[in-house]
Amino acid sequence: MSESISPDVTVDSRGAACPGPLMDLIGKVQDADPGTVIELQTSDSGSKGDVPEWVEEAGHELLDTVEHDDYWSLYVETTK
């Protein structure tokens, strides 16, 4: 499934620790129109768990989490 996701925006937060990646994502989400697919790249394992919590709480949708060699891609679709 992940192969078919082509993000509208990619946020490279690799190298940043919690809560940097989440802050990067929130900044993009606030500027994005509904239906925008954002790929958040993070090498922080804490963010891998924390970001989905925020996405759910904020009412957006986590499409997929893809593990790469040294980072993760979290695909988020904005709903509002």
Partner 1 sequence: MTGYAIVLASGELERVQAVSMIGSIAAASETPVQVFATMNGLTAFEKETVESGDFEVAGPAGYAMLESDGDEVPLFTEQLERAKNLGPLEVYACEMVMDVMGNEIDDYVDVFDGVLGVSGFLQKASDKQVLFV
Tell the smallest beta-carbon distance from residue 71 to partner 1 (Å): 14
For tokens 């759910």, what's the residue? 56
For tokens 């997929």, what's the residue? 64
**What's the Cα-to-Cα distance from 50 to each of 4, 17, 26, 67, rounded to whole Å?**
24, 12, 13, 16
Question: Footprint of partner 1 on this chain (CB under 8 A)?
Answer: 15-20, 22-23, 26-27, 30, 54, 57-58
What type of residue is 33? D
Nearer to partner 1, 3 or 33 (CB): 33
Is residue 1 part of the annotated active site? The answer reads: no
From 18, 26, 37, 62, active-site residue: 18
Catalytic residues: 18
